[in-house]
Amino acid sequence: MNKKERVQYIVNKLEHYYPETPVPLDHKDPYTLLIAVLLSAQCTDERVNKITPKLFALADNPHDMSLVTIDEILQIVRPCGLGPAKSKAIYNLSHILLNEHNGEVPDNFTDLEKLPGVGHKTASVVMSQAFGVPAFPVDTHIHRLLTRWRITNGKNVTQTEKDAKRLFPKELWNKLHLQIIFYGREYCKARSHIEANCPICSTVNSKS
């Protein structure tokens, strides 16, 4: 299989296994998605989804979040890890949204990435899942799979994102990155991965 054939096989197989791609993080609007994605750094989506109902009961919009204290936020989000940094970021970005963006989450990368606690990957998730803008968020899990599938030999997520965007059709990016996440959790895990039992790895890396 050459790279073009591998890409097409991967697209077809992911569409076969995951024709529907619900957003893993529970949210109701761009703001709650932004907060959920921020909390998901070095934390599982499952744990985030257990934490956010309590947080959003306290405050689910920038105005209400700006009225609580950082410590109140911290008491709720601590189980997600990096609690002090995340609670401070949530508090501060809420004030920035109020003061600079009329309480709305900006729909562009430049302004999103200026917000506290919001890096390129978080901004990419918000742009793709909240606003439908083509983006290809790459975290360590997607980086691992695309390396295994020989789509990239990038040494970091930045290079992997460039390779993914170059090789996969733009109209598939938003769905594809979710499909890869779902596939990785079920078939292509970081540990105890057996290539022969992985439908994609066993084919795209076959020597025959």
Catalytic residue positions, numbered? 121, 139
Are 22 and 182 contacting, i.e. CB atoms less than 8 angstroms apart?
A: no
- For the chain, count helices (H), then strands (E): 12, 0
Q: What CA–CA distance (Å, rounded) separates 9 from 7?
A: 5
Query: How many Cβ atoms from other residues are within 10 Å of residue 57's Cβ?
Result: 9
Task: Return the axis-axis angle of helices 3-17 and 173-186, rounded to nearest 10°.
Answer: 80
What residue type is 98 in one-letter code? L
